[in-house]
Every structure is written in structure tokens, then in C-alpha cells.
Structure 1
Amino acid sequence: MSDLSTTPTRSAPFRVAALQMVSTPERERNLEDAARLIAEAASDGAQLVLLPEYFCFMGFKETDKLAVRETYGDGPIQRFLAEAARRHGLWVIGGTLPLAVSEPSADRERVLNTSLVFDPQGREVARYDKIHLFNFEKGDESFDEARTIRPGGEVRTFDAPFGRVGLSVCYDLRFPELYRRMGDVAMIVVPSAFTYTTGRAHWEMLLRARAVENQCYVLAAAQGCTHENGRRTWGHSMLVDPWGEIVAERADEGPGVVAGDIERRRIEEVRRSLPAWRHRVLA
């Protein structure tokens, strides 16, 4: 018989954690680092953890990810996420991993950049394929994700014990219409690998803007430091509340855990005092 006193309720505080990483070109080493951070967050009481974009692999070349892509439904990365959720009895949102495109006629040289969500029993409950693909040119920095990634096309959410959670990835953060299409959510997650240049300029303001616009929490897990491939990412993983206040943030570069509580009463308080969500005219 289950102990009902330990079952989370919709009104009780729900602890979440963003895991900041510095991923490498070695998949197994990244999974070991992720396992350590998940265990650290779980020991601190986290009931949901979010890994960053590319948590499992960041190669020397964009095409390197093709070598570790997995078929949807099975593979070492997917098994790792399911087992971590089951072992610690928490929700795991697996940042992103490269999945093979399933259609026979699809590009053979591109993958889907996919977030998978596993419940505390290790069951996959949601999938989101990144829609907006990053393209940036400034000085020596040059990125074009469309060369190796096929965009997704569907908005995705899932139901957690404290409410609905909206799924997005990194560059999606710049497109507020995506979040409006999620409907009424209690939290948005943003696993990311923002560059140092764009992160320093826009990361915090965009996260806080999405929280204020949607009057919900925003949990953002980032890559953060100089990677073995020479790329430098911004870090500053954080949790933002519905008023745009930063609940918790990692100010340092490097791996670590950022944790805080989701409180339904805070969402209700903000929406009651400034009912912008209810006043929407254009949907």
C-alpha cells in the first residue's frame, strides 16, 4: 500500500532542478557526468530534473552527432534517461539527444534534436523535436543547425503533478508565439546551449520575458564553459518565477545544480493581481 502522505499534491511546493553541464565529444563521459548531477539533485529533494541541450554529446564537427544518433524507442542514451528516472523516482527531461529521422525518404545526413520526458517509473511520457534551428554569423562564430538537424513541427506539453509543462529548446526562446500555442502552462522548460556572445546579450532577458508573458515558471538548463571543441557557452542556468523574479541561478561557469520550488499559489497570486493571461484578446 502506498503512503499517501508522501504523494505530491497540486498545491504543495514541487522542487525542480536545472543541471548545468560542459558536454564533451565522448558520450559515455557525458552520461557519467549527467548521472552524477541527477543524483546530486535527487539528494537535495528534486522531484524533476532538466538536462541541457546536447547533454549527451557535443562533437568537434556538427556532423559528428550522426555517429551517436539513436532510433526512437531504444538506444543507450534513451535507456540511461529511463533508468535514471526510475532509480531516483523523479521526472527526467532529457535535454536533447540526436534521433534518426524515421521516414525512409528523409535526409540521411540530418537528425532530429529531441527532448524526451520520463516519469518517476521510467516511462516516456512526452517527446518534443526542436522547431526553430539556430543560425548565427559574427566574426569567427558561425552556426547553422539546419545543415545537420531536421526541424520538428509540433508544439508539445505534458502534465506534471503541479500542472502542465511546456517543452522548448534553446533558440525556440526567441519566438514567443510558440509559448502562446502551449496554452495554460505552470512551467516552461528551456534546455539550451546558448553561445557566450548571444547568452551574455539576451539569455536572462528572454527567460524573464517568457515568464512574465505567460505568467508561469521558466526552468532553463544550459551548457556553460569552454568545451573541448573550442565552443564557449554562456551557462547561467536558472529558475524564474511568474513575476519574472529569478528564484535560483548558477552564476559560475562549469557543471552544477540549480534548484528551487514551483508553487501553484505563486502562479495564482500573480495572475490574480495582474490578470494579463485572462485579458488576452489575440490568441
Structure 2
Amino acid sequence: MKISLIQSKIYWEDQVANLIHFHQLIASIKSKTDLIVLPEMFTTGFTMNPKKQAEENGSTLLWMLAEAKKKKTVLMGSVAIKEKNKYYNRLYVAYPNGKHQHYDKRHLFRMAGEDQEYTAGKNKLIIKIGKWKICPLVCYDLRFPVWSRNKFTEKGSWDYDVLIYVANWPKARAYPWEQLLIARAIENQCFVAGVNRIGKDGNGIEYSGNSTVIDAKGISLAKFKNGAPGICTVELKKNELDKFRKNFPAGLDADKFKLI
């Protein structure tokens, strides 16, 4: 499976400018890819003003579906949305056949007041692209290994093969971002992709990106230059992951647990 990560600036609270910007970036991907991943809140930046910025008309979702259809690929990214008088940091997965799924961010970043403005999600999402099972999560979720945990089933298989985090993760905490992504890959015996923004937001917070793809051994397969915009396409090989899991079956000794 080929996965394309887009590391980019985000125009502060400007949906129109961001949709034009990301349309151009998506169009610039000329090689075949199975999945394109955009950052967290890619239409606004990490806004704590959902009363003005959250969407309830589905305009960005329609845009994502159109882009997915045009590119013949799956498109993923999160958006501030309003639903039944509540606000969510919602990650959409748009498919080229016109279907979509979503995941609402579970862990809301209280240090920025996200927990005061948005409603936390309750359910994880695992999607399928071909033979691959993928679990998409959002930014602060990365710090919580229980929520991110890959379950080893009674049938002897893992819940997912790829863990993806879309983020607006500040430059000031870049080191934990990099280390936690590696830890999630190793402990869950899966590929991990982290897609972060760059630039400065409307609150003056700087972002250095540090987007990356990591294999199940914790080795980086691709890494962006700090603070630099770019698009990177990486091919993930299922046979290599299956072989590693078979030769090092740590899942057989994993602790059983249940989320309450």
C-alpha cells in the first residue's frame, strides 16, 4: 500500500484558502497512491472558536469526497464540525466511491481548552483499504497508549496494521512527538504514520512538522525536514509486517484488557 503524507502550513481560520491550498497540493501528487493524509483541522488550524468555525453543512466532507473521486484514492484529515448542537474534532475518511467514515477525537487537549469547546468521541475506528486494516487517531490521542493499543485477537491476528495520527503538534513538544510515535509502532507491532502541520497559527504557536512513517521495529522509513513543507509517498509492505509478527509473536503474551 502506498501512503502519501502532506506536511503543510494552514491558513488560520480560513476554510476557502485552505481548500484551495490543499487542492493544489493533492493535485501535485502524480504517482499512484492508495491513501492521502492531511493534518488535523486542516481547514482552520487548531481553533478554539467552533461557534464561528465549525461546519454543519458538510462542505469540507463534500470537497474531500470530490478530491478522493478525482484522485481515485482514499483521503483522510480532521475538521471542526457541529452536529446536534455539539462540536467535534472529527476525522473524515473519504473514499473514491462516494462513501465515508469518521472518527471523533477522543482525548481533547485541555491545556488549550479543547475539552471546554468540543465533545470527546467514544468509539475507535478501524478502516480497510485492500488487505490493510488502519486505525486513524488525532493528535493528543498519541499520548494515551491504552486508547491506541492494538489488540491481539483470539483468532491470532491484530486489530490493525497501520496506526495514523493527524496533528497540530507544537514545535515546543517535538521531541515527545517523535518518541511517542516510535513507541506506538514498537508496542503495537504495526506501521505508524504521523502527519503534522508547519508554520505559525493565529495564537502565535509554532509547528515544526516532523511528520514521519515508522515500521514495526521503530525504524523511520521517511521523515520530513523540520519546518519544511512537502509531500512524501511511502510504500508499506504487508508481507514484511506479517513476517516480522510471525517471527516475533509478542501478541501471544499481550495482556488482555477491556476499555470501559
> Do these two structures clear the TM 0.5 threshold for a shared fold by scoring above it?
yes
Q: Is residue 162 from structure 1 mapped to residue 131 from structure 2 by the alignment?
A: yes
User: What's the TM-score once normalised by structure 1's chain length?
Assistant: 0.83
Match of 2:133, SS state, is strand
Aligned mates of 1:278, 1:92 — CA distance in 2: 34
Q: Deviations over 1:174-197 (max 9, x none)?
A: 111112266521101100001111
1:153 equivalent in structure 2: 122
Mapping 1:89-168, distance limit 5 Å: 89-93=72-76, 95-102=77-84, 108=85, 111-124=87-100, 126-136=101-111, 143-168=112-137
Instruction: Give unpaired runs (5+ residues) of structure 2.
Output: 152-157
Amino acid of the structure 2 residue aligned with 1:23 = I
2:125/2:136 contact within 8 Å kept: yes
2:53 equivalent in structure 1: 68
1:19/1:51 contact within 8 Å kept: yes
Aligned mates of 2:182, 2:73 — CA distance in 1: 26
- Aligned-residue identity in percent: 24
Aligned mates of 2:252, 2:132 — CA distance in 1: 17
Instruction: Give unpaired runs (5+ residues) of structure 1.
Output: 1-13, 103-107, 137-142
Aligned mates of 1:277, 1:40 — CA distance in 2: 40
Q: Deviations over 1:92-138 (max 9, x none)?
A: 01x21111132xxxxx5x510000111122321x21000001133xx
User: How many pairs align?
Assistant: 250
Aligned mates of 2:216, 2:150 — CA distance in 1: 18
Aligned-pair distance for 1:45? 2.2
User: What's the TM-score once normalised by structure 2's chain length?
Assistant: 0.90
Aligned mates of 1:163, 1:55 — CA distance in 2: 25
Please identify, of 253-262 and 166-175, the stretch whose mean Cα deviation from structure 2 is larger.
Answer: 253-262
Amino acid of the structure 1 residue aligned with 2:2 = R
Aligned-pair distance for 1:228? 4.6
Aligned mates of 2:231, 2:115 — CA distance in 1: 31
Match of 1:253, SS state, is coil
Q: Is residue 83 from structure 1 mapped to residue 66 from structure 2 by the alignment?
A: yes
CA root-mean-square deviation: 1.8
Among 23, 29, 37, the residue aligned to 1:35: 23
Aligned-pair distance for 1:33? 1.5
Runs of 4+ in 1 over 6 A off after TM superposition: none
Among 173, 184, 192, the residue aligned to 1:198: 173
Aligned mates of 1:47, 1:277 — CA distance in 2: 28
Aligned mates of 1:157, 1:47 — CA distance in 2: 16
